[in-house]
Chains A and B, each alone.
Chain A
């Protein structure tokens, strides 16, 4: 048994933190996509992650589909849930206001949670790691191969999204809705389609986060709310609406949580991220990379 030094222990916390943080970053990116197009904060964002994990377990373990097929099938199913959410819960609201939109997304979130507990029960589920569970030792810290998958998927999503929003017509149209929905519809952009697309896209990213994290932390029906709050914390920390901010915020959030749990108290593991969220909200609501000017012109 190798001697555990403080340095290697700190490294261990950092690596774990960055991995968990990647998941928060993906949730935060999901928040931002919907927020940028609609200015809605989707409280059901965490449920997409939970669904991604549990559906993947069902596809891969129960149905025995190969990894890649199960992966694609899961993403398609969760994306459908996102589309349904927009069509059934968001679009039909007659008098949209912050209050009703928040309540509607909360309703969807408990509806999804309730359905998941009905289908899968209350026990956590495990998913085989994508490339085995033989840990790699790195400078005294133990690294699960799955960690690389999580961080890798975060990078892939980030790159794909920035190409999508900067280089494609649809992506630019979505950004236009974010800036000014009325002007966007004047130049012929179908704002409703873009909103639908934003829900689909953010559900898909949630699913990716859920699929990749399940082999590390298992997944159960009631994980969504906590993931949503921490992901929102990450989004706020980085600056709501900013994609680089979301990624930075997620990684910082994950690290704070990991160091807090390791060095201060493991019982309060979940509280650290929330305290950070409150501190940011109270003292610098525009976040690290967000701008106050932009947050002023937002409707909500």
Chain B
């Protein structure tokens, strides 16, 4: 589980690079690069969450808040103060890191249920703030007119350009995360997941590692939020509600939270599900999500990433 082969990553990166070029030539999936931009943005969040949940065994139901903090900081600083978007992105990540330490440090010392509830409560509080601080955030109507990104005169003004930007970030974050998993930190996290007292006995500084991963996942979510704000040029609180946090949970559970690839696969599937395939059953949508999550939790504890193992098991018999 700790060794992650390099070849699939290269193949994956290549597939991501040629995808828009292919999609452009097939009318039925012509608009898929647009959905893929969102999938990439969500992948940034779920990768961090997968590290937190699958590898460190901690649960967060409040990552929509970190996503939102990044998005709103970018939105407010660029539209109202005309600041450089890249600087805002970094400011957003720094602020999120501080907030994550403040929320995470006390609650990560507690056990599973408490972190879940603390992050849940935190997420709802941030959501209420987005709605209530109308002077800053525009309230429930949100903010529009957020400028797009430019880099040394190169304007990110098309879906393709954002696609490569976002997926560039995803692949960079992916490689970094894989390195973390394969390092001593990754082993420490696995030890924490298996047994906290045992990890402590072996000299692992349990709370430090938990906070580190929590902050890392929050910062990635903040980055995703900034990209989201610039890509859409619009943010409103409804994007960052409790249900989005749960959706992130579904993405990870579906893909398999013990596997970093699971986060990518689950995120891709759920993003396409909600933007494309489930579009017609608006009323059923929540039920479908609930059913998927329950099905996966009860019958596929390792998510889709565990399916190859199950199939192999059949043939071995």
Residues of chain A having any CB pair with chain B under 8 Å: 41, 43, 88-89, 92-95, 97-100, 102-104, 106-115, 117-118, 225-226, 229, 232-233, 236, 265, 267-268, 270-271, 274-275, 277-278, 281-283, 285, 300
Contacts of B129 in A (CB 8 A): 271
Shortest Cβ distance from residue B183 to the other chain A in the assembled complex, whole angstroms: 23
With CB as the reference atom, state the residue of chain A lying closest to B106.
A282
- Interface stretch of the complex, out of B33-41, B82-90, B279-287: B279-287
Are the CB atoms of A281 and B294 closer together than 8 Å? no
User: What residues of chain B lie closer than 8 Å to A117, measured between beta carbons?
Assistant: 283, 286
Contact code string B259-284 (vs A, CB < 8 Å = 1, else 0)? 00000000000000000000000011
Q: Is B43 among interface residues, defined by CB-CB distance under 8 A? A: no
Q: Nearest residue in B to A41 (C-beta to C-beta)? A: B113
Known: A89-B298, A118-B283, A300-B111. 4 other contacts (CB 8 A): A88-B294, A102-B59, A113-B290, A117-B283
B9: Cβ under 8 A from any A Cβ: no
**Distance in Å: Cβ of B245 to nearest Cβ of chain A:** 10
13 A-B residue pairs with Cβ-Cβ distance under 8 Å, sorted by A, are A94-B298, A99-B57, A99-B112, A110-B246, A113-B290, A114-B285, A229-B120, A233-B121, A267-B131, A271-B128, A281-B114, A282-B107, A283-B106
Q: How far is the CA of A282 from the CA of B113 in the complex (A)?
A: 13
Contact B290 A102 (CB under 8 A): no
A275 to B125, CA, bound (A): 8
A106-B249 contact given A89-B298, A114-B290, CB 8 Å threshold:
yes
Q: Give 4 closest A-B pairs by Cβ, nearest first.
A: A111-B290, A114-B286, A98-B112, A114-B287
Query: Which one of B59, B106, B132 lies within 8 Å of A267 (CB-CB)?
Result: B132
Question: Contacts of A95 on B, CB cut-off 8 Å?
Answer: 301
**Complex contact B113–A98 (CB within 8 A):** yes
B242 contacts chain A at the CB level, 8 A cutoff: yes
Q: Are B113 and A281 in contact (CB under 8 A)?
A: no
- Given A99-B57, A104-B298, A106-B246, check contact A111 B112 (CB 8 Å): no
Is there a chain A Cβ closer than 8 Å to B239's Cβ?
Answer: no
Q: Is B99 interfacial (CB 8 A cutoff)?
A: no
Inter-chain contact total with CB atoms closer than 8 Å: 126
CB of B224 closer than 8 Å to a CB of A: no
Complex Cα distance, B110 from A43, in Å, reads 18
Whether A281 pairs with B110 at a CB distance below 8 angstroms is yes
B121 A106 Cβ-Cβ under 8 A = no
A102's partner among B113, B118, B287 (CB-CB below 8 A) is B113
Complex contacts, A99 vs chain B, CB 8 Å: 53, 57, 59, 112, 257
Contact A229 B124 (CB under 8 A): yes
Is the Cβ of B291 less than 8 Å from the Cβ of A41?
no
Q: Are A110 and B289 in contact (CB under 8 A)?
A: yes
Are A111 and B294 closer than 8 Å at their CB atoms? Answer: yes
Residues of A within 8 A of B132 (CB): 265, 267-268
Q: When A110-B286, A110-B293, A274-B121 are in contact, do A300 and B112 touch as well, CB less than 8 Å?
A: yes
Kindly list chain B residues whose C-beta atoms are within 8 Å of the C-beta of A277.
Answer: 117-118, 121
Q: Are B111 and A270 neighbours in the complex by a CB distance under 8 Å? A: no
Question: Across the interface, do A118 and B294 meet the contact criterion of CB distance under 8 Å?
Answer: no
Q: Considering the complex, which residues of chain B in the window 14-53 have a beta carbon less than 8 Å from any beta carbon of chain A? A: 53
Is B110 a contact partner of A103 (Cβ separation < 8 A)? no
A270: chain B residues at CB < 8 Å are: 124, 128
**Complex CA–CA separation, A280 to B111 (angstroms):** 14
Nearest B residue to A115, CB-CB: B287
Instruction: Name the A residues within 8 Å of B53 (CB-CB).
Output: 99
Tell me which residues across on chain B come within 8 A of A43, comparing CB atoms: 116
Question: Which of chain A's residues has its CB closest to B300's CB?
Answer: A94
Q: How far is the CA of A108 from the CA of B298 in the complex (A)?
A: 11
Which residues does chain A contribute within 8 Å of B253, judged by CB atoms?
103
Picked from A104, A115, A267, A300, the residue with its CB within 8 Å of the CB of B297 is A104
List residues of chain B with CB within 8 A of the CB of A112. Answer: 290
Residues of B contacting A100 in the complex (Cβ-Cβ under 8 angstroms):
297, 301
Most buried by B among A115, A265, A281, A300: A281
Known: A108-B294, A281-B106. A114 touches B118 (CB 8 A): no
With A100-B301, A103-B297, A229-B120 in contact, is A285–B114 under 8 Å at CB? Answer: yes
B122 within 8 A of A: yes
Instruction: Tell me whether B287 and A118 are in contact (CB under 8 A).
Output: yes
Shortest distance between the CB of A33 and any CB in chain B (Å): 15
A108-B290, A229-B117, A267-B132 known; A278-B284 Cβ under 8 A: no
Q: Is B61 an interface residue (CB 8 A)?
A: yes
